[in-house]
Structure 1
Amino acid sequence: MGKIIRKVREENKRRFKNIYKNPKVLIPDIKEGCTAVVKEIVHERGRGAPVAKLSVTRGNGVLKAFIVAPEGISVGQTLVFGENADLKVGNCTQLKNIPEGSYVSMVEKKPYDGGRFAKSCGTYAIVVFHNRDAHTTTLKLPSGEKVSVSADARAFIGIIAGGGKDDKPLLKAGAAYHKYRALNKVWPKTRGVAMNPVEHPHGGGNHQHIGHSSTISRHAPPNRRVGLVGARRTGRKKGSRNEFK
């Protein structure tokens, strides 16, 4: 009888999942202009960037909200939301009011969806172009990709705090152990080609190599379904994209 490989064994293993400590980190769903005071800057488990706890003044009431903290804000600072917001770090306004070349973060994909782009440590999007006729704004994302979103989508001025948190070297395996244990991730993870043939389909041989195509059918037995499962294509993309008008 064959041996159960690591992939199949982990598929049926229950992983511990903790509850969220804080509510969802989104831009407050407020259509009119308002102000907010930064009450506290906290850490959320599983998130590298700090989270700012806001007290939003809305009419006669006060609303609590959590956002990913932009670089440079502090406790007690007043942030402004709406079309009349000044172009200062930490303020939130619509993209149509932000000049080209500005750095923005927590950018919405659709108006009032709470923010989808540039939310991790040290990331930002750049306002590239405003198309006044189509009422859209072109953004350059941290990946380098350019996307067009509605000019009514909101964003924060500035970049996300916590940039460079991975620059400090771990120096020893014990530090990496505690890092990945806190994130509930499997570490260290042995490569398949470094195993014996009884333990993995890529194992064995006089030197470390797969020995056959790494592409595998999605209908293969579970113990063989490792590598590039059901891949439509492999390798780097080549050639230019044809655009039809």
Structure 2
Amino acid sequence: MPVGKIIHYIYITHGKGGQLARVAGAITKLIAKEGKSATLELPYGERRLISKNCLAIVGQMGNVGVIQKRKSLGKARSKRWLGKRPIVRGVAMNPVDHPHGGGEGKAPIGRKKPATPWGYLALGRSRERNK
């Protein structure tokens, strides 16, 4: 590969698979080649020596616009517009609404074992014994 080329999915050791620059939109530059090793500039600024006979893919890693997708929605209502409903903990409910509910203040679960919203045990044995 010529010096100055942009590459991604770089093998550190031959035959072990790509281990460097695998994240979306990653760019690594081949800076120099000396003897049996090559110098790479990784996406986060680090310079690293690897063997010349290691493989890599020419070009930039795909899905470059993934960073723009990670935008803050701003407020809870925006989440509701997308059809997402609020998740409420069972402990925060009343006993009529959930088996974990009720108690004074931040009380623990009143039962011996955690239960589902329908009252069935959530942990431990859930199988019939004589199967």
Which bracket does the TM-score occupy, shorter chain normalised? 0.5 to 0.7
The unaligned stretches of length 5 or more in structure 1 are 1-97, 179-245
* Residue 140 (str. 1) matches residue 41 (str. 2): yes
Q: Aligned partners of 1:166, 1:139: CA distance in 2, in Å?
A: 24
Cross-structure match for 1:159: 60
Q: How does 1:95-244 map to 2 (within 5 A)?
A: 98-132=1-35, 135-168=36-69, 169-172=71-74, 173=76, 174=79
Secondary structure of the 2:20 match is coil
Q: Aligned partner of 2:66: which letter?
A: K
Per-residue deviation, residues 53-86 of structure 1 (Å, max 9, x unmatched): xxxxxxxxxxxxxxxxxxxxxxxxxxxxxxxxxx
- The one-letter amino acid of 1:114's match is G
Partner Cα separation in structure 1 for residue 67 and residue 53 of structure 2: 34
Which consecutive segments of 4 or more residues in structure 1 shift more than 3 A? none
Rounded to whole Å, the distance in 1 between the matches of 2:7 and 2:16 is 16
In structure 1, the residue corresponding to 2:13 is in which secondary structure?
coil
Q: Distance in 2 between matches of 1:166 and 1:142?
A: 15
SS at the partner of 2:10?
A: coil
Q: Secondary structure at the match of 1:142?
A: coil
Amino acid at match of 2:39: T
Query: Percent of aligned pairs with the same residue?
Result: 25
Q: CA deviation at 1:113?
A: 1.1
Displacement of 1:122 in angstroms is: 0.1
2:18 match: secondary structure: coil
> 2:129 is matched with which residue?
none
Partner SS for 1:166: helix
Q: Distance in 1 between matches of 2:20 and 2:45?
A: 12
Q: How many residues align?
A: 78
- Give the structure-2-normalised TM-score: 0.54
Counterparts of 2:72 and 2:63, CA distance in 1: 17
CA drift of 1:112 comes to 1.5
Does the residue aligned with 2:32 lie in a helix, a strand or coil?
strand
Where in structure 2 are there 5+ consecutive unaligned residues?
85-131
Query: RMSD value over aligned CA atoms?
Result: 2.1
